[in-house]
Amino acid sequence: MQQVSTAGSNSSSTWEDSMSLLRFLRLGIIAAALLAAVPASAQPICLAAWESWANPDNGTVLLSCPNGGRIYSIDFASYGTPNPVPDDYNPYHPYSQSNSTLEPVCDDLSAISLGECNSAISIDVLEADCLGESSCEVEASNDVFGDPCSGTYKRLYVVATCVPTDANQCKKGGWQAYGIFKNQGDCVSFVKTGGKNEPGKNVK
């Protein structure tokens, strides 16, 4: 019985597998390079603070735009008990505010939402103090927002969007820092029209 040699087919299969691996690695390198080209600030500004009287060291939010931009919109603001709830948080115990960290709150913007307690003027306060400014500081307190839930230790979450004030801030990749423009031309068009051409709607 004649034996069929498989050496050629095995060599071909090995070569094809090697080429597939090289293509996969090349795509991974390209993807990594594209991600590295986008500034870390290419996302809305997100900040959180504890009720100031219970935790004065962490009782204000300081919004500051990248590249000398200005605050364009307040996308979310809630003084009360917004979600997500911080670890070890006790709404009736002030010491939980000193022991817990609010930093993880902004890790996932999709998780931020209104809780059971919310000051109805939260967005109004932030818009009045911050819109059009390059930076602003707002205290998380009943004096500023009123008391939406008496006897509960509250916190303030804010998400805002910044835009450039000068066309030069759009150049050399600067448009990417704002996270709302499709390309440099979209960014320049927004600036040149004083905001009449809205972000993402000027691309031809």
Instruction: Check pLDDT > 70 for residue 29.
Output: no
Range 98-104 average pLDDT: 71
Inside any domain, residue 68? yes
Give the number of domains in the chain. 2
Taking the C-alpha atoms of residue 133 and residue 122, their distance in angstroms, rounded to an integer, is 18
Q: Is the dihedral of CA 98, 100, 106, 110 positive or negative?
A: negative
- The pLDDT value recorded for residue 148 is 97
In this structure, the answer to whether residues 64 and 126 fall within a common structural domain is yes
Instruction: Check pLDDT > 80 for residue 3.
Output: no
CB atoms within 10 A of CB 56: 12
Q: Mind listing the pLDDT tens digit for each residue in 119-165?
A: 999 999 999 999 999 999 999 999 999 999 999 999 999 999 998 88
In this structure, the answer to whether residues 26 and 91 fall within a common structural domain is no
In this structure, the answer to whether residues 63 and 29 fall within a common structural domain is no
In this structure, the answer to whether residues 72 and 107 fall within a common structural domain is yes
Supply the range of the domain harboring residue 29.
1-37
Q: What is the 3-state secondary structure (H, E, C) of 108-142?
A: CHHHCECCCCECCCHHHHHHHHHCCCCEEEEECCH
In this structure, the answer to whether residues 104 and 17 fall within a common structural domain is no
In this structure, the answer to whether residues 3 and 55 fall within a common structural domain is no
- The pLDDT value recorded for residue 25 is 42
- The pLDDT value recorded for residue 75 is 95
Cis amide linkage into residue 94, ω under 30° from 0 = no
In this structure, the answer to whether residues 122 and 156 fall within a common structural domain is yes
Inside any domain, residue 3? yes
In this structure, the answer to whether residues 13 and 98 fall within a common structural domain is no
Inside any domain, residue 69? yes
Question: Which helix (H) or strand (E) element contains residue 144?
Answer: helix 142-145
Q: CATH number of the domain that 92 lies in?
A: 2.60.120.740
Instruction: Check pLDDT > 80 for residue 20.
Output: no
| Inter-residue contact 140 to 79 (CB < 8 Å) | yes
Range 54-71 average pLDDT: 88
Q: What is the reported pTM?
A: 0.72
In the block, residue with structure tokens 């004083």: 194
Question: Which helix (H) or strand (E) element contains residue 28?
Answer: helix 7-37
- The pLDDT value recorded for residue 97 is 72
Least confident segment among 31-45, 54-68, 103-117, 147-161? 31-45
Range 85-110 average pLDDT: 78
In this structure, the answer to whether residues 31 and 73 fall within a common structural domain is no
